[in-house]
Every structure is written in structure tokens, then in C-alpha cells.
Structure 1
Amino acid sequence: MDADHAVERLTRSIEDFNSVFIRLPGTDRLSFSALSVLHTLSRRGPCRLSELVRTEQIKQPALTAAVSKLERDRLLVRGPDPSDGRAVLLSLTDIGRQLVVGRHTERADRLRALIDQLPAGRRKRLLGIAGVLDDIVSLADQQRPTDRQDPDHRQDLDDERTRP
């Protein structure tokens, strides 16, 4: 198998896995987009709305609506950006953090039950790649521009400064 074919197969496998994995815990009250926002804030810390537009790949009006719902549900809060008092940072509340941790725990339990059904050799190989996947995520995060690095998003920042 050549490298290009292997990358295509890996991409397809990751997409299929993500499709199954995201649905492991049952959560009826929040959309996948809202859950993704909570997970991103949990993983990366406080973010501006324009940063989330890029990371979540959701149009700003839809993301603004999702963020407003999460704020009403007391899962996240808006606060001043210490580096620019006119801008707003979104961050998780304790309730939001608890929801993310609870989903993670439930997913881990359900994934563990699936992994336990694999032959021992396959389980060992699968569990050994977690560090490699972490490395890929870190590389992707390093290559993603932030608001402060990306001059094309000045309008997004100006829009955020005028929001309550």
C-alpha cells in the first residue's frame, strides 16, 4: 500500500470513527455544534467568537445563536479579553465543565466496552496510537492562526466588540 492510499484509508477510517464516536453518549438537549463548542473551550480555554467560527467551521450567525443558547443554559459565559478590553472571550462555567467531563467519562466507558471486544493484539495496537493522534492535534492547533495573527478577521473582531 503506497503512502497516498494509506492516508486516504486513514482519513476514511477517522471519518467513520468520528461519526460513530460522536454519538456514543446520548445527549438530546444539545446539538453537535453546541457540544463541539463546549469541547473546544474545554480543550483550548477561553476563545473569541471569531476563533470559534474558524475552529468549528460554523457561520458566525449560527454560532452566535448557539453561543447565546449555551449562555442561557449557564454552560458558558462572556467576559472581557485581558489583552483587549473591548473584545469578549467565551469560557466555560463550572456547569459547562461538568457537562464536558460527564460526556467524556460516558464516551470513555462506552468506547472501553467496544475496545474490550477486540482481540488482544488489536487492542494493544489501537491504544498505542493515542499519543500519535495527540501529536497530530497539536500540529493542527499550531498551524491554525489566532485572531491576533490573522489580519483578515479584523471585521469579526470589530463585530465582537460591539456585542454585549
Structure 2
Amino acid sequence: MSEALAPDSVASTLLASVGVLLRRVQQVPLEGGLTMPERTALSHLERSGPTTSSALARDVQITAQAMGATLSALRERGLLERRPDPDDGRRMLLSVTEAGLQALKDKRNARVELITQALTGGAFTPEEMERLASVAPLLQRLAQNI
């Protein structure tokens, strides 16, 4: 195996380039969109289902106080709801509302549009577009193997 294709070299290059792409996409402000902590909380609730505020804070590795502020903002906007835990009436479970699911969908669509705009207008040749398309499944498989 040549030096250019050594696994540690490929790993380093992939990590750097994918990291730059993700940071750029996340840094571009989207009108009326979710903040990063709001998106993180809603996405986690969407994937994992209802949970408590403290469990959510622990899962996304932020303080309970920071999570409380984020959740308050989301509740005020009607993007999540609190309900008593059927197994323990003293606890409240948080879940994403339909409006919250729509906000996540809108954010994802806006990011897809952002990348679509970057890909159009002659910035990439048809051959480069094919290469980018062929890499996507490999990146997904890489992520699944981590």
C-alpha cells in the first residue's frame, strides 16, 4: 500500500475535510432556524423518543442548567412538550411536537439547499459531481463502522 493510501493518512484527510464541511454548513445562519443546542435537543428527542430533561442533558453532554434554558425556549415556541411520566408521576417527559418535527425538517431542507447551491453554477464538473455522489455511501459505511 502506498504512503498516500495509508489508513492513518486517509483518516486524517477525511476527518479534516468532513469537519470543515460540517462546520461551514452549521455556521451559515438560516432565517428563523434553530440554534445548534435547540437542533441537538430536538434531534436527540426525535431519534430516542421521550425522556427527561436531566437524561437529555446527560446524553448530549451539557449541563442541566444549559439544557433547561434551551428547553424553555423550545417550549415557548411550541416545538416540544412536557407530559407526566406514566411510570413515575413525579417526573416529566419531553417529546417533540409536530411543529418541532417540522422545524427540524425545515433546517435539514435549508442545509440541503445550501449544499445544492454550492454544487451548482459550474463550480464542479459533471465528473466531480459523480465522484462526490460515489463517496457518499462510503462515508455512511465509514460512520457505521465507528
Mapped pair 1:5 → 2:9: yes
For the aligned residue pairs, the C-alpha RMSD in angstroms reads 2.6
* AA matched with 1:53: A
SS of aligned partner of 1:26? coil
How many residues end up aligned between the 2 structures? 139
Could you say which residue in structure 2 is the equivalent of 1:126? Answer: 132
Q: TM-score, normalised to structure 1's length?
A: 0.69
- Please tell me whether Structure 1 or Structure 2 has the larger radius of gyration of its CA atoms: 2
Q: Give how far 1:61 is off.
A: 1.3
Could you say which residue in structure 1 is the equivalent of 2:88? Answer: 85
Contact kept, 8 Å, 1:25 with 1:107, in 2: the verdict is no
Could you say which residue in structure 2 is the equivalent of 1:94? Answer: 98
Which blocks of at least 5 consecutive residues in structure 2 are unaligned? none
1:6-53 CA-to-partner distances (Å, cap 9, x unmatched) read 111211112111111113451456432112222332344333334432
* AA matched with 2:103: L
| In structure 1, distance between residues paired with 2:141 and 2:56 | 21
> Which of 1 and 2 has higher RCO (CA within 8 Å, sep 6+)?
1
Q: Give how far 1:80 is off.
A: 3.9
Q: Give how far 1:55 is off.
A: 4.1
Describe the shift of the 1:103–1:29 C-alpha distance in structure 2 as closer, same or farther (beyond 3 A).
closer
Describe the shift of the 1:106–1:63 C-alpha distance in structure 2 as closer, same or farther (beyond 3 A).
same
Could you say which residue in structure 2 is the equivalent of 1:46? Answer: 50
- Higher deviation after alignment, 125-134 or 31-40: 125-134
| In structure 2, distance between residues paired with 1:72 and 1:43 | 22
Which blocks of at least 5 consecutive residues in structure 1 are unaligned? 141-164
**Percent identity between the two aligned chains:** 27
Describe the shift of the 1:130–1:52 C-alpha distance in structure 2 as closer, same or farther (beyond 3 A).
farther
Could you say which residue in structure 1 is the equivalent of 2:65? Answer: 61
Q: Give how far 1:138 is off.
A: 5.0
SS of aligned partner of 1:22? helix
